[in-house]
Every structure is written in structure tokens, then in C-alpha cells.
Chains A and B, each alone.
Chain A
Amino acid sequence: MSNPDYLLSMQGICKSFGAIQANNNVDLNLSEGDILGLLGENGAGKTTLMNILFGTYQADEGKIMIQGRQITIHSTADALGFGIGMVHQHFHLVHRHTVLENLLVGEPGRRGRLDFSGARRRLLEIGDQFGLTLNPDARVSELTIGEQQRLEIIKALFGDSKILILDEPTAVLTPNESTGLFEALRALAEGGLGIIFISHKLHEVRNVTNRVLVMRAGSVSALVEDTKEVTESDLARLMCGHELNPPKKNTSKLGDTFLSLSAIKTGGSTPQKLKGINLSVQGGEILGIAGVSGNGQKELADVIAGVLSHTEGTIEVKGEIISKASPRLMQKLKIGRIPEDRMTTGLVTSLPLYVSMVLPWIRRSIFSRFGILRKNEILSFTSKMIKRFTIQATGPEVKTGTLSGGNLQKVLLARELAFEPEVLLASQPTRGLDVAAAEFVHRQFLSLREKGAAIILISEDLEELFALSDRIVVMYEGRIAGETKINDASVEDIGLLMAGATFGA
């Protein structure tokens, strides 16, 4: 007799944060063997829903049932007890500890001592059953990103999870590693687990899931019972409410070479150090830098930003060789820089907006004279920027941190574009932004390109790179793996380069 109860059933879930309703009457059902895709834009409410399931938050209303039994989840420990495991986007691993030590956290010991041998045994069993293997004594810092994610999944299995939630798991994987992950997920589903696969990547959702729940602005927009029956465009429409409308790109006239890097190397012993980068960008073009995060993009960005010193090679700006780069020098040379991490490296969240807005320019004579600030100029400049970039803020004196992600990105854009940079370096500029905000950012880049500036766009989002770039360069393990003009590029080739293959192989 088959059990009519779902493995997991969430009914009528509601959750608000202040004025924002993150989940509005959401229903979700999951059976054994399901791989349910949870699809939606950033801010649609998917992560909130899963955090409620995993015990990080408590729902305001609604009920959760496992195998037909209603349960309450007050904490992560409760969730684990009910067999719910989660693999987060940002791994929760201790890099200094070994694989075994990471697996044993939270486990009771045997007679008061850590049960290393028992853990080893279980690790082998899981390897046999699902093909997920790891060296138990390796330190996490020695593992690749794909292996670290594997560890996270094994952690969930260690806890006897019946329900596995994966939050944007392929964000950090090469296309090859993603395929490996999908195989593992299929094996797990066949083994009787129910899997919830959170993503905003349409082709992946179509690839691995058998059902899809689409969320938009906190509510369920659609439930697809059989993934094979929908197309990517269908899903896109359900997800965004409208067709994807990327801004149009014109062919532009190329100017001089504004920035060029020759044989740049950086020091240190991380696998991400730069091992000889040759790069140049001309006025009027957008150079896209693709690659899975962790292959040296951040180092490259930091070298161009002047924050990281190169140990070998030369940087030339408009023909002049830079001997010692520094943020101030790069600013003076009209290189605008948008850092990857808005909140920590870009803006000062606890201080008023005008502080974040004029931070790099505080020494310009318009803002300070003889070491004394010109407050009026600072405030009026900030107000002007707020209007020009339609930043949703009540005034220049509100605390920076109260703005939403999209508006914070606008602040960064505004301040770098304010003084007409000739080169703009943008690192992951639309990460975490909704479609409207991302489109705004893209339009700014294109208009800057038309004015003759050079733009270096570092992004993990291939769709974005393809939409905006004139040329694409792929980074792999600290080197440039390949370069193509946009007309000659294909996603498969770029994907291969991202995974370490070389052209023609």
C-alpha cells in the first residue's frame, strides 16, 4: 500500500521582515525520489522559505508536516532531528580542520570521546552508495571547491537526512563539476531522498529537476509537475513576470589602449595567485572576464584596483608604466573601481549615505580645502547623485546600510561614474540584484562604453557577460585560459575553458 502522505509538506507559510513580506502563503510538497527545483529571482523568497524549513527562522504562520505528521521546527537542531539537511551557498566548513573533524561536529561521541573510526566507516559507506568520496584526513583548505561542496552534502547525509536542500549549489562549480553534482543528486534521489534544488539558473533546473516550484515576490507563481513539459522561456516568464529584455548593444568605435597588464604575477601561496597575466583593454570596449570564482579574479581585480601589489610584470595606464599601484594612484589615473563585496569593501554601512558617496573623493578640492570639509558641496553632490541614479533613499543623511542591495550598488556606480572614469573595473556588479536593478547597471555600462571609456567586467554570470562584452577572457587557476571576440564565442567553449581545458583540445 503506497503512502499517500508527502515526505514533506509545507502549507500556508507566511513570513515578514518588518515591512517586507518574504513569504506569502506558500505551499510546497515533496515526495521521496523528487528533485524539486525551487526557482526564483533574488528576493523571491526561496532562501527564506528554506531557512524556515531548516530552523534558522520561524514562520509567522503556516504548518510543516513530515510523513503526514505535523511538526514544529524551532532550531537547526530540530530540523536536523527531523532529517532535514541543508547545503548552504556559503559553505559552513572549518578550513583548518580535517574532513573527519568537520563531519563530527555536533555528533555525540562514543563514551565521551570523538568517534573517528566510526566516522571513517560511514564515510566509506556513503562513498560506496552514492559515489561521493573524500580523503578523510585532508584539511578542508586543501580541497577544491567542488570537493568542499561534496563534503557539505556528505555532512547532510551523516545526519541521516531524508530531505536535502541545496542552495544555489552550482554558483561555485565549473560546468564539469556541475554535471558530477547532478549525477550525485540523481543517485541520492534514487536512494529515496527528497531533494530541493534552489536556483535561478534556468537550464540547470530543466536539466536535473523533475518538478519545479516557481516563486516571485514572496508568493508561488507556478507549480510545474513535470519539468519536461516547460521550456526555459516559460520558466523565465513565470520567474520574472516578463520576457528577458537585455539592453541592446551597438557596435562602438575602439579608442586607444587605456590599460594593459603584462606578465603580472602576484605573491603568496594560494592557488589563486596570478601566474602571468597579459591583458589589455581599449576605450569603447567592454572586456568580460569569465571564470568560476576562486581562479584569481579577485586577485586580478585587486591588482587593478591598486589594493594588491604585483611581484612581477608591468601595469601600463595610457602608455605610462605604473611602478607602485595604490588605490589613490588608480583613482588619479581615472580608473573607477567597483569592488566585489559591496558591504565590506565598498560602502560604510553604519555612516550616512554621503560618507559612502564621497569616500574616494574626499581630498578633491570640491569637497575639502586646506583640510577642511565643504559640507554643503558634499551634501548637494550626494543629492544630485541620488536623483541622477534614481537611488531610493530619503536623503543624503540616512544611514547607508538602510538601502536595499540594488540601491547600494547604484551608490557604488554613482560614485565611480561621477568623475568620468576612463576605465571602469566592475567585480560581480549585479550579484544579488533583481532584474530591474541589474538592467539599470547594464545600461549604465553600455552608455559609458558609448562615451569611449573602457570597462573590465568580472562576472560569474555567463548570460551577463555574453550580453555586454565585446571580448571575453577566461581565467583559470591564475592564468588567462583563453580569449575570444564575442561573435566567435560559444557557451560550451567558454565553459570548457572555465574548467581548465584549452582551445583545440
Chain B
Amino acid sequence: MAFRLELREKTPIWFNIVLPLSAVMATLLLCSGLVALAGANVFHAYSELFLSAVSSRFNLVETFVKAAPLIFTGLAVAVAFRAKFWNIGAEGQLLAGAMAAAYIGGIESLPSFSLVPLMIIASALAGAGWAMLPAILRTRFKVDDVVTTLLLNFVMFYVMTALLDGPWKDPLSGYPDSPDIRMDAEFPILLHATRLHLGVMLSLLAAPMVWWFIRRTTLGFSISVVGENPSASAYAGISITRILIYTALISGSLAGLAGAGEVGGLHFQVMSGISPGYGYTGIVIAMLARLNPIGVVLAALFFAVVVTGAEAMSRATGVPVYLADVIQGTALVTMLIAQLFTTYRIRTLTTQG
């Protein structure tokens, strides 16, 4: 029995939910094998993984706190991928944003009321600037953006650790981290007795804004078309270079904002471990969300749950905490495969002779 792929006429809307859901289900199914291999009861492990996030009011709020940087990086990648600007560098852009925010937050001479807004603006600008570099390399020098954005992550990481080890080292701490930002630079807490900070709200606001931007603005339209067919776009008068640069700026700023949130709302300083791969997780989130900003929020929450829950699961069952990394990689692969169903329909053929 042979298969043939046939182009679909329209992609049904419910696909946006069913497809990621099936990818997630498939992922959990596949990874259950690893759990069993680790000698744990799958049911027990998964319930620890997922339920710890909702086990208390504090934990539930914490999930949103953990999701905030993921929402931003997911949005950053989603916007970039729409234009087929393969921004694997959200990680480095986040670090740039974090450093910019921490720097502003430490300036003594700035008036109190200006600190938080300036931190936010600075982080966006820093992230945008760091994303400009690979965009220019691509448009002017034809260098593949996957490789450059990736390599720049390493560069930014080393820049950061060099600073943290040297001129920006907090003399009071034994670890390589920066001095704390000013007290009045800390993001306001929105919910009493939790860590729900301003950054979380910003991330939740950013998602619908990005959605509106993509669907309702000329620039959003251009970004989508450039990604789908650059030569038709160029022929029709759209400047590919300009659109790619704008895309990089927007994508980079979103990733930079992730950094601002972590610095201003959570850690109040920069340390070398400030991002355990949020930029990379953002890629998986964007793909699971099918580049849809609202889907990004849901996928980000999913991963926030998984990442936090992995610790609890590991403590309770002995399954290595890195199950979360495997889940991440598997989710990306299964989602890629699931995507096929949107473009094509499977037709079974019976062939004779």
C-alpha cells in the first residue's frame, strides 16, 4: 500500500490545537520509555513532573514566573521564523538584554521612577542590537543565519562571564555575579506573597500584541510573505533586506525583554547561569505554537511546568532531571513531523502494475 501526499486547500483552525497536542502526547509516550529505563514508575514520574506545578497557589504562580522568559523567547523566535530568519540566537540576545538591564539598574544617578522603564527599554535595545549583527551578515554577506546566531550565543556568553569575572564582579559575593541592582530598580510584585513580578505581566501582554502585529499591520504582513516567498515579495516591491532587519530588531528586542524580566523581577543581578537555555527552549516553543503568539503562551507554560517539575520528579523518583532536555528535543522533532499534516493530506493508493 503506497502513500501520497496531496496539498491541502485550507488548514483548519482546530489544527492549531490538535497538532501540538498530539506532538506533546507522542513526546510523553516516547519519553516514558526513558523513565522506565531509569527504573521508575511512569505514572508516578509523570504525575510528579506535571502536578508539582499546580500543587499549591505559590507553585501555580511560580509556573507563570518561570514561563515569563520562555514566552518572550518563544515570541522572539516565532516572529523571526515567520520571516525565515533563523534566529537561534535568542539565548545571546537574552543575555545582552539582561546585562543592559542590570547595568541601568545599577546607575546611582538615575531618578527612581525612571529606572524600571529605562531598564526595559535598554534591554530591548540591547537584544535588538545583538540580533542586528547576524541579520546584516545575512543580507550583506550571505552568511547563513543559523550558524551566526548560534555562534554569537557563545560569544555573548563569554563576554558576560569575562565581565562577571572581572570588572563587573560583585566584591561582596564569592561567585562570579554582578552587584545587585538598586532596590528601587526591582520590578514591582503584582501579587502578595508570590514572586509574580512586572515582567510576567509584560510577557502576557506581549503575546496578544505580537499577534495583532502579525495579522493586522503592514509590516507583519510583509514579514509573513517574505518568509513564505522572498522572490515574489521582492518582485512585488518589498525590500527583503529591510524586512529581515526589522524582523531581527523585533525578535531581538523580545528576547532582550526576557533578560530584563529575569534581572529586574527575579535575580536582581546577572550571574553566569542566568539562562539555562531559555533561548533554545524558545525555539521548541515557537514550533509547538506553530509560530502563533497565543500558542506560544500555552507552549511556554507547558515547558515551565516541565522544567520546574523535573526537579521534583528527579528528587522523588531518581529519574535524571535531564529528562526535561529529552522532552524538549523530542517535542521539537515530533512537532516537526506533525507539521506535515498541515501542508499535506495523506492519500492511500493501491497500485497495480
Contact = CB atoms under 8 A, between A and B. Distances in A.
Interface residues of A, number: 41
Nearest to A415: B236
B232 A62 contact: no
Nearest to A16: B349
B237 A326 contact: yes
B58 interface: no
Interface stretch (A21-29, A238-246, A247-255, A348-356): A348-356
B217 A327 contact: no
Contacts of A337: 235
A331 B237 contact: yes
A62 B352 CA distance: 8
Interface string A394-416: 00011101100000000000000
B235 A372 contact: no
Contacts of B351: 58, 60
A360 B9 CA distance: 23
B353 A399 contact: no
Contact of A344 (B215, B229, B353): B229
Interface of A: 18, 58-64, 72, 305, 307, 326-328, 331, 337, 339, 344-351, 355-356, 359-360, 362-363, 368, 371-373, 375, 397-399, 401-402
A360 B236 contact: yes
Contacts of A72: 353
A345 B235 contact: yes
Contacts of A356: 232
B41 interface: no
B144 interface: no
Contact of B225 (A339, A355, A363, A398): A355
B7 interface: yes
Given A62-B353, A345-B235, A399 B216 contact: no
A363 B218 contact: yes
Interface in B231-289: 231-238
A359 B343 contact: no
Contacts of B216: 372-373, 375
B234 A351 contact: no
A480 B277 CA distance: 60
A337 B236 CA distance: 9
Contacts of B352: 60-61
B224 interface: yes
Contacts of A363: 218
Nearest to B350: A60
B232 A328 contact: no
Contact of A349 (B229, B235, B237): B229
B222 interface: yes
A311 B125 CA distance: 39
B10 A398 contact: yes
Contact of A328 (B225, B231, B237, B343): B237
